[in-house]
Structure 1
Amino acid sequence: MKSYKGRGIVLHTLKYGDSSLVVYLLTDVGGRRSYMVQGVRSRNGRGSKLALFQSMFPVEFEGLESPRQEMHRFKEVRAGFALREIPFDVRKSTMALFMAEVLYRLVRECEPNATLFGFVWNSVGALDAIERGVANFHLWFLAQMSRLLGFHPGNDYIPGSWFDIREGEYVSARPTHTLFLTQECSRLLDELLHSDVRRLEEIALTRAERTEFLNAMLVYLGYHLDAVSAVQSVRILKEVF
């Protein structure tokens, strides 16, 4: 087997057999990859390793690749950096669950994407450290993801405009079709695209406004990538925020 070192963010896990786990990671070395972890769920297995494979947890690892096996394996795996709040704060853990599911459904590439990986890795640290503005973090994350995935607005925002999802641009007149963001959601999209994550508390939104923008962004992302429309953690997220 060929060995290699890398970093990853946990996106999803599946139980396999009585004691094993399939772990899906966004990695710096190969985009999205799946890993077989054997014995991690058995009573006598490496129970401490199971705690590493939670949604959006960062890991560093030495992987093993074999041409005869479809999935990679870990020779060694450990925490990428210590998380102080995400595992214990229900708001942040709920948001991490949502972010991981969105990434799991959006990212299918098996090629390294340093810009995307760096953003996601740093976002985990930012979410863990942020003290104020937590309720807006997932909205900022979705806006930034649209930029990284290549379908952010193709022109500059003008106050009072609508964002036409089909055309990928802000327009001065309300579109005649239904695939557009309202004027308020369009303004918020532009604000979030240009906001520093450390200043999210300055964006004052009601729960209804957050829900409206979240729904609009899922339609926007779903127009380009159908899989995002099936995100299950949205319901939990709306209950918390």
Structure 2
Amino acid sequence: MFTATKAIVLSKIKYKDNDLIVKCYTQKEGIVSYLLRGVFKSKKAYSKVAYFQELSQLHLVTDHKEKRGLQYIKEVKTSYLYSTLHTHVLKSAIVMFLAEVLSSSLQEEEQNDTLFNFLEATLQWLDTNETYANFHLLFLLNLSKHLGFYPDKTAIDAPYFNLYDGEFQYLKESKYCISGENLILLKQLLGTNFDALELVKINGSQRQAFLGVMLLYFELHLGAFKKPKSLQVFNEVFS
């Protein structure tokens, strides 16, 4: 049965000599992997590869069968054409990093319109805005809401935040409690939207430290989560 869906590309890997396996987060089916046969055989077929850059937003018509591990794409076209994400050096670094995070974080093979709409809208925001140095921090924080472990703000005035419990606390109850600059930034981001990100003023070392906190937060709440391989390069770019 042919199915039409929007999709966001998370990763791709060459398979055998001429094929490509593409992992996408789709609007209708959640995580789906597709096998593209013969895309490296000819120039005409190879042109299809350009559609599948990390975090590209696509519209797919697929031959979807429930029990098949790798699905097939019948038609592909761009649903939103980025103007900067794949050409701007710094934004490209963000794309590479976030694609790894999402590939490791998203496991659901079911429809989740709220999550898909969040990804679609925030990536389009990044594409069209020039104040983005802290984009990835707010993105990860907001992503945690869709994955089920957004910080509980009940005691937001408390001097500690427990990463393991996901809540603010008045006593340092574990080694996973944060305070100081990281706590201040967490509270600031919890009250910020993307359009107000330019008001968040931090330096490279503070940005790097808080990113480490957010990745630990993901590790504690997502059993299969792994730190992105691109982390070191990413931190150097945004130091």
Superposed pair shares fold, TM > 0.5:
yes
Letter in 1 for 2:60: F
Cα displacement string for residues 85-115 of structure 1 (whole angstroms, at most 9, x for unaligned residues): 0111011111011111111101111011111
Matches within 5 A, 1:114-193: 114-132=113-131, 134-156=132-154, 158-159=156-157, 161-175=159-173, 177-193=174-190
Q: TM-score, normalised by structure 2?
A: 0.94
Decide whether aligned partners of structure 1 residues 72 and 161 sit closer, same or farther in structure 2, where only a CA change above 3 A counts: same
The answer on 1:63 being equivalent to 2:59 is no
Give the corresponding residue for 1:35: 34
- 1:85 equivalent in alignment to 2:84: yes
CA change 1:42–1:182 in 2 (3 A) is farther
Match of 1:204 in 2: 201
Once residues 83 and 36 of structure 2 are traced to their aligned partners in structure 1, the CA distance between those partners, rounded to angstroms, is 25
Per the alignment, residue 74 of structure 1 pairs with: 73
Q: Contact 1:41/1:47 (CA < 8 Å) preserved in 2? A: yes
- Give the C-alpha shift of residue 41 in structure 1: 2.1
How far apart, in 2, do the equivalents of 1:113 and 1:92 lie?
26
Say if 2:212 is the partner of 1:215: yes
Offset from partner CA, 1:56-101 (integer Å, 9 cap, x none): 1111110112367421111100111111001110111110111111
Select the residue among 208, 222, 225 that pairs with 1:225: 222
| Unmatched runs of 5 consecutive residues or more in structure 2 | none
C-alpha separation between the residues in 2 aligned to 1:199 and 1:39?
46
Match of 2:22 in 1: 23
Identity %: 32
Paired residues of 2:61 and 2:73 also in contact (CA < 8 A): yes
Q: Partners of 2:196 and 2:7 in 1: how far apart?
A: 27
Q: 1:40 to 1:194 in 2, by over 3 A?
A: farther
Distance 1:136 1:19 in 2: 39
Q: Tell whether the 8 Å contact from 1:39 to 1:45 is kept in structure 2 after alignment.
A: no
Contact 1:160 1:183 (C-alpha < 8 Å) held by counterparts:
no
C-alpha separation in 2, matches of 1:114 and 1:69: 23
Q: Counterparts of 1:66 and 1:56 in 2: how far apart (Å)?
A: 24
**TM-score normalised per structure 1:** 0.93
2:207 partner amino acid: R
Count of matched residue pairs: 238
2-structure distance, mates of 1:113, 1:137: 23
Contact 1:61 1:77 in 2 (8 A): yes
1 CA distance for matches of 2:208 and 2:225? 16
1:227 deviates by 3.1
Q: Which runs of 5+ in 1 are unaligned?
A: none
User: Is the CA contact (8 Å cut-off) linking 2:158 and 2:169 kept in structure 1?
Assistant: no
| C-alpha separation in 2, matches of 1:68 and 1:21 | 20
Q: Give me the whole-angstrom Cα distance separating, in 2, the residues matched to 1:146 and 1:66.
A: 30
